[in-house]
């Protein structure tokens, strides 16, 4: 074994096989992944079907708004250093049962479904995250979507705006919302400017000690708005098509 040629051959083989299995093959599988349409009726038996409200849709839905740019900012600001976006099955953690980590919001009985490969297929790099210092964000969209029982358009709009303002406040001054938070505030994603008239509806509603001087307002920059598009679009608790799970989904309440 004292020849360089043999050494390189054996070394190359030792590297090549795992590189194919652990890198190239999973990459190819993700590149070839297709969205799965919800089907109302199984063509063969006519039995299995997805929920009627999903008719005509595919899973997962394509990105909307400025989400691509938001994804980039999420990466550049290092959000993934402290925030995960993954709901693991119960053998690996309590994720599915954490309060408020799924669609259920504050409902203590809500079980979040675990994330799967399709959930991330529109992303260049799935932000699974390196550590979980802050709350999981796999379903952060539900927390800030301002869902309400009201039907009046003005009130629905107000609820959505209030939820969005909440998100920007978290981003600007996390401790104004939760005093034990160790999340940094992202001041550089906001602009302080002179208030015009009643001011922007997106202007931060800050507690007195953080509020800007009279006549000024702090508004999210275009980067912050793109980040909001991204985070508010993180909704991975949608029903999975029957063709993936192979089982009829539970009746939704």
What residues from 168 to 207 belong to the interface with other proteins (CB under 8 A)? 174-175, 178, 180-188
Among 42, 107, 124, 150, binds other proteins (CB under 8 A): 124
Residue 84 touches other proteins, criterion: CB under 8 A: yes
Residue 92 touches other proteins, criterion: CB under 8 A: yes
Nearest CA-CA partner of 172 in 191, 187, 183: 187
DSSP state of 193: E
Residue 29 touches other proteins, criterion: CB under 8 A: yes
Least distance in angstroms from the C-beta of 17 to other proteins = 8
Report CA Rg, the chain. Answer: 23
Residue 100 touches other proteins, criterion: CB under 8 A: yes
Whether 82 contacts 216, CB under 8 Å:
no
Least distance in angstroms from the C-beta of 181 to other proteins = 8
The residue (of 187 and 205) whose beta carbon lies closer to other proteins is 187
The residue (of 126 and 158) whose beta carbon lies closer to other proteins is 126
> Distance between CA atoms of 71 and 60, rounded to whole angstroms?
17
Whether 74 contacts 85, CB under 8 Å:
no
**What is each CA distance from 96 to 80, 92, 114, 115, 252, in whole angstroms?**
20, 10, 7, 10, 17
Residue 119 touches other proteins, criterion: CB under 8 A: yes
Least distance in angstroms from the C-beta of 136 to other proteins = 9
Residue 43 touches other proteins, criterion: CB under 8 A: no
Query: If you search the block for the tokens 């912050």, which residue do you land on?
Result: 224
Residue 21 touches other proteins, criterion: CB under 8 A: yes
Among 9, 23, 191, 244, binds other proteins (CB under 8 A): 23
The residue (of 12 and 207) whose beta carbon lies closer to other proteins is 12
The residue (of 114 and 156) whose beta carbon lies closer to other proteins is 114
Structure tokens at 56: 């005509």
Among 2, 109, 209, 252, binds other proteins (CB under 8 A): 2
Whether 211 contacts 199, CB under 8 Å:
no
Residue 42 touches other proteins, criterion: CB under 8 A: no
Nearest CA-CA partner of 109 in 125, 91, 94, 97: 97
Whether 124 contacts 63, CB under 8 Å:
no
């Amino acid at each position: 074994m004292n020849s360089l040629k043999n050494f390189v051959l054996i070394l190359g083989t030792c590297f090549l096989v795992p590189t194919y299995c652990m890198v190239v093959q999973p990459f190819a599988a993700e590149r070839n992944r297709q969205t799965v349409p919800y089907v109302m009726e199984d063509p063969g038996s006519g039995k299995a079907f997805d929920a009627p409200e999903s008719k005509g849709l595919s899973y997962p839905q394509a990105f909307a708004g400025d989400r691509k740019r938001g994804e980039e900012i999420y990466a550049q600001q290092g959000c993934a250093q402290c925030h995960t976006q993954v709901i693991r099955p119960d053998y690996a953690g309590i994720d599915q049962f954490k309060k408020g980590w799924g669609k259920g919001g504050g409902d203590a009985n809500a079980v979040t479904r675990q994330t799967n490969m399709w959930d991330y297929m529109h992303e260049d790099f799935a932000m699974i995250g390196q550590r979980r210092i802050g709350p999981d964000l796999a379903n952060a969209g539900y927390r800030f979507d301002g869902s309400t029982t009201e039907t009046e358009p003005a009130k629905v709009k107000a609820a959505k705006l209030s939820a969005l303002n909440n998100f920007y406040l978290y981003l600007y001054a996390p401790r104004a919302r939760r005093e034990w938070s160790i999340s940094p505030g992202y001041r550089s994603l906001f602009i302080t400017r002179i208030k015009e008239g009643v001011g922007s509806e997106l202007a931060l509603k800050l507690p007195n000690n953080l509020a800007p001087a009279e006549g000024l307002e702090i508004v999210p920059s275009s980067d912050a708005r793109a980040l909001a598009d991204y985070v508010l679009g993180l909704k991975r608790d949608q029903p999975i098509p029957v063709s993936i799970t192979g089982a009829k989904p539970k009746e939704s309440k």
